[in-house]
Amino acid sequence: MAQRIKTNIPFIVIAFLFLTGLLLIASPFIRDFIIERSISHYQDEFDRLAPVEHDGPPGAANIIAEIERPTMTTVLRHAFLQTDAPIAGAIAIPDIRFILPIIDGLTTEHLLYGATTLTENQPMGVGNYVLFGHHMAKGDLLFGPILQLEKDMDIFITDKSHIYHYIVTDTAIVSENDTHFAASTAEPIITLFTCDISKPTNMRFMAQAALESQTNYIEGTSGAEQFAKKN
């Protein structure tokens, strides 16, 4: 028996290395699949969402440096430990066929499910509404598509009470240490941030837009339908 095991050791090692290699090759696809399923889940939750009430002042901003990159380990950990994330609404950018749920509060976990607000309980249509999202190697996942944003494009967000229509005024690549674009403002604007590339980087793509109009959210209207889940 011992001799048989000794004889098979090279084959066991080869099989182990082969399976490990397969897992390493497949892990980005598995990770992206899990993220896509999470996004789809929260888009379904948005469809069932009642109008969001902001019943308190905005919370403090999270420390962005503490946010983990979406590695396979991070995604699996949060997939197994997933709790119900607080949905604040949704964002839609028709020109780039972009729709995501907005999750309340910037955390590593929330960034796996959609766009996240810089602070908790952040009211829409007031001051600087700041959203963060991951830039993945798969270009159409999470915030990757916003790198296509250009001046004068439309951005819509909703809390299912109102629809807020913004028009892009500026895009830029900025340092992660340049925080003035995320600062509070008197005028109503929206600011979107993501990494400039899908690999580790200290630079961010930033897009800023000014509030153009605010309308009531009414189910079945063309304004509300643009937040419908993509097929």
CATH number at residue 215: 2.40.260.10
Range of the domain at 59: 2-225
Q: What pLDDT, on the 0 to 100 scale, is given for residue 148?
A: 96
Residue 231 lies inside a defined structural domain of this protein: no
CA–CA separation, 207 and 190 (whole Å): 8
Report the chain's terminal Cα–Cα distance, integer Å.
57
DSSP-derived 3-state class of residue 203: strand
CB 98 within 8 A of CB 142: no
pLDDT digits (tens, 9 = 90+) for 63-117: 555 667 777 677 667 666 666 889 999 999 999 999 999 999 998 889 999 999 9
Record the tokens describing residue 105, joined without a space. Answer: 């509060």
**Between 18 and 136, where is the model more confident?**
136
pLDDT at position 24 is 47
What's CA 36's distance to the chain center, in Å? 11
- pTM of the shown model: 0.83
Is there a catalytic annotation at residue 195? yes
- Pairing label, strands 98-103, 87-93: antiparallel
Distances in Å between the alpha carbon of 68 and those of 54, 58, 109, 131, 139?
Answer: 28, 23, 9, 17, 19
In a domain, 230, yes or no: no
Please state, in angstroms and rounded to a whole number, the distance separating the CA atoms of residues 227 and 223.
8
User: What is the predicted pLDDT for the residue at 3?
Assistant: 53
Question: Is residue 64 included in any domain, yes or no?
Answer: yes
C-alpha closest to that of 164 among 92, 66, 60, 220: 92
User: Across all residues in the chain, what is the average pLDDT?
Assistant: 83
User: Could you tell me the two tokens for 151?
Assistant: 């001046």
- Which residues are registered as beta bridge partners of 113? none
Higher pLDDT, 221 or 99: 99
Report pLDDT digits (tens) over 165-196: 999 999 999 998 888 999 999 999 999 999 99
| pLDDT greater at residue 58 or residue 217 | 217
pLDDT band at 231 (very low <50, low <70, confident <90, very high): low
- Contacts of 149 by beta carbon, 8 Å cutoff, 6+ apart: 93, 96, 168, 171, 192, 207
Catalytic residue among 78, 134, 162, 165: 134
**CA nearest to 92, candidates 152, 155, 151:** 155
Domain presence at residue 167: yes
> Above 70 in pLDDT, residue 123?
yes
Query: In the chain, how many domains are there?
Result: 1
- Number of neighbours of residue 146 by Cβ within 10 angstroms: 26
Residue tagged active-site, from 78, 135, 162, 195:
195
pLDDT band per the 50, 70, 90 thresholds, residue 133: very high
Structural domain includes residue 159: yes
pLDDT for 36-72, tens place per residue?
888 888 999 988 888 887 766 666 666 555 667 777 6
**149-165 confidence digits (pLDDT tens):** 999 999 999 999 999 99
Domain assignment of residue 150, yes or no:
yes
User: Which of 53-62, 130-139, 192-201 bottoms out in mean pLDDT, i.e. has the lowest?
Assistant: 53-62
pLDDT on residue 62: 60
Beta-carbon count within 10 A of 132 CB: 22
| Beta-bridge partner residues of 162 | 216
The H or E element spanning position 2 is: helix 2-47
In a domain, 32, yes or no: yes
Does residue 56 lie within any of the structural domains?
Answer: yes
C-alpha torsion sign, points 40, 45, 48, 51: negative
